[in-house]
Amino acid sequence: MTSETPLYGAGPPNASKSLNSLENGALPTHIEACFEGAFELVSEESPFQGLLSQCSEQLVDCQRKKTTYLRIELCVTVELSRLGIRGSIIVHNGSGTRSTWLYARRHFEDMPPEREQIVVGYKPAGVDEMVLFDFAFFAHKLGFRTTEIEKLLQDQFHFEDIKSSISVITGVIETAGLVSNNQAVNVDEHEPRPKHEASITLKQREVEQVIRLESLAANERKHYARNTQLEQSRADVGGEIRLDRVTTTIDQPTEDDDVSETERLLQVSAQLSEKQNELNRLEGIERNKRLVIRQLEEEEVRLRSSIHGLSITVRALTEDEQAKVDSIASPKEQQHSTNNKLVEKEMRLRQNIDLLEVCRERLEADIKAATEEKDILSHALLAEKQIVNSTDMRGGSQDIDELRSDANLWRTYH
């Protein structure tokens, strides 16, 4: 960093005009806005509250250099950055003026268009695939785990259209809102939020970040003061460096120290970048593993449901088959019972037939015997008639006796 390079880049176009206003004792409107915003950001218990009050009272009446440095000390966003700036009063004023514009833009939106253009400054470079991937990963870490953002993370720096991808991410982030602890939210179901709510949320986060930066700046100042005391103590104990040389070294560091410090910062930045890339790669692998595990769990649930459905189907088929078997077995049993009854009835009928046959044979024998007896009686009667007739005709008793004896003999033989 050279002695003529400001911390925040080139100063705004009206830097010299603002400097003239400061030197003439006038208080610009954006400085007043910066004071009001600073009073809102700094709490009453903060040690900066008294400094702000003192600066606001003595801003116009102070001398030129003191006034300018007090304004810069008030307006710079991070106090530690002011300690690292070296250069003329114009450089310091340009840095402070840019910081005051940033404060005024955060808390006072009703600014003229030309001043807004001053605040915006130069346009940043175009967005590349790395920045888009970091943006999508940041949105995913914030809790916007939608299918669109996950698809962008899976693309791994191979995006079809960067502008449309940025629009997708910003559209998802606009759906963010305050959620209570007992309120369930589905991250895949989102609706666009009103712009004023989104701007309020972003402002609140910005204020929180500024307060956090101020606290970090205070800690850095404490560490810087402690390191200065340690350096002073070491110089006093060693006795090798004179007090004026220590002061000169602290106030005006050499270019070699600047170069070594810059190289060290570059090395640290490169190491941090490598660590961040490695972390991103590991997180990508972890996300892929989680996606695979989630897919396997879903497949397991689907298979379990299929098995359950098949079990129900098999149980229903078994019950139907059993009912069919029962329905088929019932007529068979009835038919078997009927057959048994018919067989028993047939046996009884056959017995009756046999009995009737025996009775018939007996009756036929009786009829035959009766017929034979009838024939015998008929022959006997005929013989007697013949005997009677012959007796009448012959009139002899001897003949009658002979006929009777013949009849008796015939009966005996028959």
Instruction: Give 269-338 as a DSSP string.
Output: HHHHHHHHHHHHHHHHHHHHHHHHHHHHHHHHHHHHHHHHHHHHHHHHHHHHHHHHHHHHHHHHHHHHHH
Per-residue pLDDT band for 390 (boundaries 50, 70, 90) equals: low
- Phi-psi group of 68: left, alpha or beta (phi > 0 → left; psi -120 to 50 → alpha; rest → beta): alpha
| pLDDT score of 3 more than 50 | no
Q: What is the DSSP letter of 123?
A: P
CA 6/CA 9 separation, integer angstroms: 5
What value does the mean pLDDT take over residues 180-188? 47
| pLDDT score of 72 more than 50 | no
Quick one: pLDDT at residue 108?
56
Task: Tell me what percent of the residues of the chain surpass a pLDDT of 70.
Answer: 49
DSSP secondary structure of 51-63: HHHHHHHHTTTS-
What value does the mean pLDDT take over residues 258-281? 78
Segment holding 182, helix H or strand E: none
The predicted-structure confidence for 226-248, as pLDDT tens digits, reads as follows: 878 787 777 666 555 454 554 45
Quick one: pLDDT at residue 144?
80
| pLDDT score of 268 more than 70 | yes
Task: Tell me what percent of the residues of the chain surpass a pLDDT of 90.
Answer: 1
The predicted-structure confidence for 132-163, as pLDDT tens digits, reads as follows: 787 888 888 777 888 888 888 877 667 777 78
Per-residue pLDDT band for 107 (boundaries 50, 70, 90) equals: low
- Name the maximum alpha-carbon separation found in the chain: 215
CA 159/CA 151 separation, integer angstroms: 10
Quick one: pLDDT at residue 9?
34
The predicted-structure confidence for 12-47, as pLDDT tens digits, reads as follows: 333 334 334 444 444 455 566 556 656 665 566 666
- Phi-psi group of 78: left, alpha or beta (phi > 0 → left; psi -120 to 50 → alpha; rest → beta): beta
Take residue 279 and report the two structure tokens written for it. 């972390």
Collapsing DSSP to helix, strand or coil, 136 comes out as helix
Quick one: pLDDT at residue 240?
53
What value does the mean pLDDT take over residues 270-275? 81
Q: What is the DSSP letter of 129?
A: H
Quick one: pLDDT at residue 64?
42
* pTM to 2 decimal places: 0.20
For the chain, the average pLDDT equals 67
The predicted-structure confidence for 293-332, as pLDDT tens digits, reads as follows: 888 888 888 888 888 888 888 888 888 888 887 777 777 7
Take residue 275 and report the two structure tokens written for it. 């660590």
CA 392/CA 54 separation, integer angstroms: 198
